[in-house]
Amino acid sequence: MGSRESLLEQLTALAAEQRPQRHEPAWLGERRAHAQQQLGKRGLPNKRLESWHYSAGDFWLQQFGERHSLAPLTPAEQAVTDTALPAGHKLQFSHGYLVNQQITGNDRERVTLQPLSQIDDATRDALKVAFATDSSVDSLADLATALAPEPWLLTIAAGEKLEKPLLLSHLAAEAGLQISQLIVWVKENAEATLLESFNGGCDDYLHIAHAKLKLERGAKLTYLRLQHEGEIAHHLGSVEASVGRDAALRVQLLLGGERIDSERNRIRVGFYISLDAPGAEFTARSAFAADAQQHVDFHFTVDHRADHGRSDVLVHGLADDKSRGVVNGRIHIAANTRGNDGRFTSHNLLLSNNAEIDAKPELEIYADEVACSHGATIGQLDEEQLLYLRTRGIDEQTAISLMKEGFLTSGLLDCGNAALNGFLREQLLARIGGELAL
């Protein structure tokens, strides 16, 4: 592989080559062509961009392209089911392709899942109206739109509340590049919970994952995202959301699963949230425990574009061994708005002299009548708390584990489902050896 410029040329050429081979409707081909054009103008995500300052997306792609083909993988011949998931409607994807769908009971009438290439004209026209500003804020989304082999549309019908959570799992079964794209359309006054889980069934892969969420007036969506990647895997994720009038989006972002002593995977997930109408709300909780030589970068941008928006983001991060954590949060209050309340807080602990955490909270306020705050802390385990536990007869290692457990679980969201809450807690604490029983 040559320079990063030639890498971009190779990716755009690949997109142009694959478009006529897909036999997709003309409008979808035009959508891909537009994304390819935008990608060519903006370039691949790189450290020159403020939001990518700590994660060289273009360099990661270049390194990966030196080992593997950049043509997206086809579905695995024998996709493995993720049996660890709790009860719910299971939607299993292999390298961006749907391989298993289990939506049961009354919810089958409330939710639909379709490849974009197969939606009817009425759905297409309504989709174009709902996503009238279908421009991406991140060039990673352009790359996914141009190259995702099978983009999907998940729709929750207006006024409906799902009885069970949707459990969408991606399992990397082979080494290579996989690209997935999911559009989630929660219609007026609908309500749903969606878990999107990314798991490494092999070690060396790169997953580019783009999700686009649309919440119409009064809609409520709890979106849970779990990252459990392979030993030397790369994950580049982008989630864009438009939140309508009096709608509420709640997000949980976690690094989970058992640690691997030699893991050196690289994970960068960006959330780009737009509160587009009065009364829109966004709440996010996030937690990670990085170790070995991992690189974990969680980014949040929240744009308050209308009056009386509410946002609250809290991130708790641990870094041990030679790992690196990055927590970047930006709140933007648009001009000529009023009554907005935006908060971003990040608490982080370093457990090793060789570990590193970069925390960067940002506020951009162009209006009066706001209540905004931001802050970040980076420290170490409290020696006085540790001493207190030791004086109560608890050995040092157990005391440290208890302190890490308490710190990380403060970054958990109550998603309104006891089984899901327990599952997410278990996945998070597996990073530090599992929950303690004293």
* Per-residue confidence (pLDDT) for residue 70, from 0 to 100: 85
Rounded CA separation 111/178 (Å): 26
CA 240 to chain centre: 9
The backbone torsions φ and ψ at residue 12, rounded to the nearest 5 degrees and listed phi first, read -70, -35
pLDDT value for 220: 98
Alpha carbon distance 342, 212 (integer Å): 22
The pLDDT tens digits for 408-438 are 999 999 999 999 999 999 999 998 886 665 5
Location of structure tokens 């509410």: 310
pLDDT at 133: 59
Return the pLDDT at 238.
Answer: 96
C-alpha–C-alpha distance, residues 107 and 157, integer Å: 10
φ, ψ dihedrals at 27, nearest 5°: -65, -35
Beta pairing, strands 281-290 & 310-319: parallel
- Helices vs strands, H then E, count in the chain: 8, 19
Could you tell me the two tokens for 264? 């050196």
Distances (CA, A) of 363 to 301, 302, 310, 328, 399: 10, 10, 14, 11, 37
φ and ψ of 247, to 5 deg = -90, 160
Tell me whether strands 152-156 and 111-115 are parallel, antiparallel or unpaired: antiparallel
Which tokens hold the place of 187? 């219609």
Q: Which residue has the tokens 């309500």?
A: 191
Buried b (16+ CB within 10 A) or exposed e, 315-343: bbbbbbbbbbbbbbbbbbbbeebebbbbb
Query: How far, in Å, are 29, 244, 253, 393, 420 from residue 376 at the CA level?
Result: 44, 29, 18, 33, 28
| DSSP tag of 161 | B
- DSSP string spanning 36-53? HHHHHHH-S--TTSGGGT
Q: How is the beta sheet containing 356-365 ordered, strand by strand?
A: 111-115, 152-156, 176-186, 205-215, 234-243, 266-275, 295-304, 324-333, 356-365
Residues of the chain with pLDDT under 70: 1-5, 77-83, 132-135, 434-438
* Confidence (pLDDT) at 1: 44
Do 227 and 255 meet the contact criterion of CB atoms below 8 Å apart?
A: yes
| Per-residue model confidence (pLDDT) at position 76 | 77
pLDDT given for residue 383 in this prediction: 87
CA distances from 430 to 265, 404, 434 (A): 17, 12, 4
Give the per-residue pLDDT at 304.
98
Element (H, E) at 176: strand 176-186
* Structure tokens, 252: 């949980």
> What does the alpha-carbon distance between residue 139 and residue 126 come to, in Å, rounded to a whole number?
25
For residue 126, give the 3-state DSSP assignment: helix
Res 69: pLDDT: 87
Q: Between vectors from CA 314 to CA 162 and to CA 170, what angle results, nearest 5°?
A: 50
Residue 5: per-residue pLDDT = 60
Report d(CA 329, CA 79) in Å as an integer: 36
Decide if 181 contacts 145 (C-beta within 8 A). Answer: yes
The burial class, CB within 10 Å (0-12 / 13-18 / 19+), for 105 is exposed
Distance separating alpha carbons of residues 368 and 335, to the nearest angstrom: 8
Whether 189 contacts 158, CB under 8 Å? yes
At 20-66, the pLDDT tens digits run: 788 899 999 999 999 999 998 999 999 988 889 999 999 999 999 88
Residue at token pair 């990252």: 227
The C-alpha angle 382, 388, 394, rounded to 5 degrees, equals 110
Measured over all CA atoms, what is the biggest interatomic distance in the chain, rounded to whole angstroms?
A: 71
CA angle 238, 211, 155 (to 5 degrees): 165
